[in-house]
Amino acid sequence: AAPAPAEEAPAASAPAKPAQTASASSTSTSAKPGALPAIAADQALEVVLDCGLRVLIARDRTLPVAAVILAVESGPEDDPEDAPGLTHALAYYLLYGNRELRPGESIDTVHAGGGVSSMAVGLAQVRYESVVPASRLEEVLWIESQRLRSPTVQADAWKKALRDAAGDAPRQGILPPPGLAAVHRQESLGHSGRRPGPNLAGLNEGALSSHLRARFNYARATLVVVAPEDPRELLGAVERLFGDLPAAKRQVPARLPGLRSAAAKERDKENAATLDEATTPDAVPPDAGASPEGAEGTGDAVGGADDPKPEAATSPAPATPEVDPAAGAGLSVDPDDLDPEVIEAGHHKLPLYAWSIPGTPAANAWAIAVCRALNGQRRRGDESKRMRVSCAVDHDPRRGSLLIQILDADAPLEALRSRFARLASGRDRALLRAQAVKLGRELDFASHRPLTLARQLAVSTEDEAGPRPTARALADLTGLAALSDVDRLSEHFPAMLHLRDAITLVRPETSGKGKPVKGQGPAKGKPTGKPADAKGGTP
C-alpha cells in the first residue's frame, strides 16, 4: 500500500512582507554597521546564519540595480537511480509557491518592478536569479526568504512541474551523459537530468515533501546580494528576514573531482608487478660473486609501468610523486606518468582525453587558461605538420570538464606529454602566463556588472565561511587571485598536466568482433607508438 501523505508541519512565523516592515528596527548585533568590519570596494561580506544559509554581500555602484541569487547545492547528480530528472522537476515545482507565495509570485514581483528573473539548473547546482531596481531589493529578499519554506504539496502542481521540466531543451554540453559520468566518476550523471523519469509521475505527496526537504533547504543554499547599499546594512535586512528559521547545520555535499579509479590503480599495481618480474635478472646465489650493488638493484621496484627504461633493472626509478594540492608546489610534469584510463563512453570519432575540473572558480579559470595556451602552442620541428591539438572546456560551475583531442598524430599520448612539458617548464610557460593574465583582465572586467559578479560569487568556495561576519577579497572568491602565478595551477587544479588522472573516451565497438569504430583507430598506413619526424613520416 502506498504510504499516506505526510501532514504538513505548522508554518513558522514568517516575517511580514516588506511593506509592513520598512520602519522596523533590527535587534541583531551584526546588523549594526559599527559592530562589523568595514567592507572595501574589492571585498564581500560573508557569513553563515544560524539556519545554515551562507550569505555573500558585495557593493556595486556602477548601476542603480541590485542582483540577487539564491544558489542551492543540488542538481541532477543527486537524483536517485530510479528517479532521473527529479531535481530539475523540483526546481520548477518551487515556482508554484507555498503558504506565503502564490503560484508565480516570485516571478511576478520581479517583473512588476521592471526587473528580470531566471532559473539555471546545472549538474550540481540550481540558481534562482533576479535583477531589479535597487529600490525593490527588499521585496526580492523577502521572496527569497520564503521560497524554500513549507512548499505547498499538490498533485496538480507536481504534474505541471513535470510538463515544464520535460519541455526544457537538453543540456548544451560537449560531453554526452555517459561521458560525464565516466569523467567525474559519478554514475548519477549518466542520464540527461532534464527529462523526468517515468516513476516521477507516481510520487505521492509524502514522498514529494520528503524530496523537497532533503534537496531544497537553506542549509544547502547560498544567498548572494550585489547592490549599491552598504553590505553591513543589507546584512541587517537579511538577518531580519531569515532569522526566524530553525537552527540547522550547514549541509553542503562534497563535490570531489574524479581521479584515477580504484580498479585502474589495482591494474597499475598488477602491471608494475608483472613488469618487475619480467625485468628482474635471474637470481644468482650470493656465493657466486654477485656484488651487493647488484643484489640491491634487483630487489627494488622498476619505474613507470608504461615506459620502462633499459637501465631500470640495475637503477630503480623513484616512485611516481604524488601532488599535494595544499603544498602549492611548482608546476611540473612527471616523465613516468601513467597512461589514462580508456572507457567506452564517447561519441567522437577520435579518442577524447578528459579531466574532471574541481568545482571552484580558480580551477575553472585555470582550465580555460590551459586550454587557450594549448590551442596557441606552435608546432615543433619534430612534430608532424598535420598534427593539431584541440582543447575545450565543457563548462559547469561544479562539474566542468577539460577536453583535449589530438589530430593526425602517430603517438598522441607522447605528443600530449611533450606539449604539457613545454607549458610546465619550457618556452611555452610564458604563453601560459600570458593567457592567465588576459583571462584575469576579462574576469575583472566582468565583475563590474552586478549580475555577472553575483554569478561568480554564487559558485565560490566557502572554506572560510563561519557564523562570524568576515570580509573576503573578491579576487579570492572569483578565482582572479589564483591566476597571479603559474605555479598556483598545481594548487588549484592538481590533476592538470597529469595523464594518470585523465580519461580516454572512445566510441563503443560496433560489433563483438573487436573492430573499432571508423576513425577511432590509427589512420591507414601510419604505425602507432612511434614518434613522427619533422616531415610527418616515421623514423
Instruction: Give pLDDT tens digits for 143-160.
Output: 999 999 977 788 888 999
DSSP, collapsed to helix, strand or coil, labels residue 448 as coil
Mean per-residue pLDDT for 440-462?
93
Does residue 530 surpass a pLDDT of 60?
Answer: no
What local confidence, expressed as pLDDT, does residue 496 receive? Answer: 80
- Residues 315-325 have a mean pLDDT of 35
Express each pLDDT in 93-137 by its tens digit. 999 888 888 988 999 999 999 999 999 999 999 999 999 999 999
What CA–CA distance (Å, rounded) separates 194 from 102? Answer: 25
pLDDT level of residue 316 (50, 70, 90 thresholds): very low
537: pLDDT strictly greater than 90: no
Burial of 491 (0-12, 13-18, 19+ CB in 10 A): buried
pLDDT at 25 (0 to 100):
36
Q: Can you give the pLDDT at residue 489? A: 86
Per mean pLDDT, which range of 157-171, 261-275, 384-398 is the poorest? 261-275
Coil/strand/helix, residue 533: coil
Band (523; pLDDT cuts 50, 70, 90): very low
Per CATH, the architecture of 36-253 is what?
Answer: 2-Layer Sandwich (3.30)
Contacts of residue 517, Cβ cutoff 8 Å, sequence gap at least 6 = 349, 507, 508, 509, 510
Residue 532 or 425, more confident: 425
Closest CA relative to residue 73, chosen from 173, 222, 193: 222
pLDDT at 500: 86
Across 250-262, average pLDDT: 77
| Residue predicted with more confidence, 287 or 234 | 234
**Residues 295-304: tens digit of each pLDDT:** 333 333 322 3
Nearest Cα residue to 509 out of 520, 525, 500, 494: 520
Specify the higher pLDDT residue, 335 or 186.
186
pLDDT at residue 20 is higher than 50: no
**Residue 278 predicted with pLDDT over 90:** no
Band of pLDDT at residue 264, cut at 50, 70 and 90: low
pLDDT attached to residue 27: 37
Give me the pLDDT at residue 265, please.
54
Residue of 321, 297, 299, 308 lying closest to 272 (CA atoms): 308
What is the predicted pLDDT for the residue at 303? 28
Residue 522 CA to residue 527 CA, distance in Å, equals 7
Residue 312's pLDDT is 34
Average pLDDT over residues 40-50: 94
Question: Which pLDDT does position 15 carry in this prediction?
Answer: 56
Residue 332 pLDDT grade (very low, low, confident, very high; cuts 50, 70, 90):
low
C-alpha cell, 437: 593574465
Which of 181-185, 281-285, 515-519 is the most confident on average? 181-185
Q: Where in the sequence of the chain do the CATH 3.30.830.10 domains occur? A: 36-253
Q: Under a CB-based contact definition with an 8 Å cutoff, are residues 382 and 539 in contact?
A: no
Segment 239-248, tens digit of pLDDT: 999 999 999 9
**pLDDT of 292 above 60:** no
- pLDDT higher for 94 or 279? 94
Burial class (CB in 10 A: 0-12, 13-18, 19+), 336: middle
- Per-residue pLDDT tens for 191-239? 888 888 888 998 888 899 999 999 999 999 999 999 999 999 999 999 9
As to burial, measured by CB atoms within 10 angstroms (0-12 exposed, 13-18 middle, 19+ buried), residue 449 is: middle
Q: Mean pLDDT in the chain?
A: 77
The mean pLDDT of 73-87, rounded to a whole number, is 92
CA-closest candidate to residue 55, choices 523, 465, 497: 465
What's residue 410's pLDDT? 83
Q: Would you state the pLDDT for residue 16?
A: 59
Residue 337: predicted pLDDT:
65
Orientation angle between helical segments 105-112 and 137-147, nearest 10 degrees: 170
Q: How confident is the model at residue 262 (pLDDT cuts 50, 70, 90)?
A: low
Residue 515 has pLDDT above 80, yes or no: no
Query: Would you say residue 60 has pLDDT above 50?
Result: yes
Whole-angstrom CA distances from 410 to 386, 388, 407, 416 are: 11, 12, 9, 12
Provide, rounded to the nearest whole percent, the portion of the chain with pLDDT above 70: 73
CATH assignment of 256-277+324-457+474-539, among 3.10.20, 3.40.50, 2.60.40, 3.30.830: 3.30.830
The answer to whether 31 and 240 are in contact (CB under 8 A) is yes
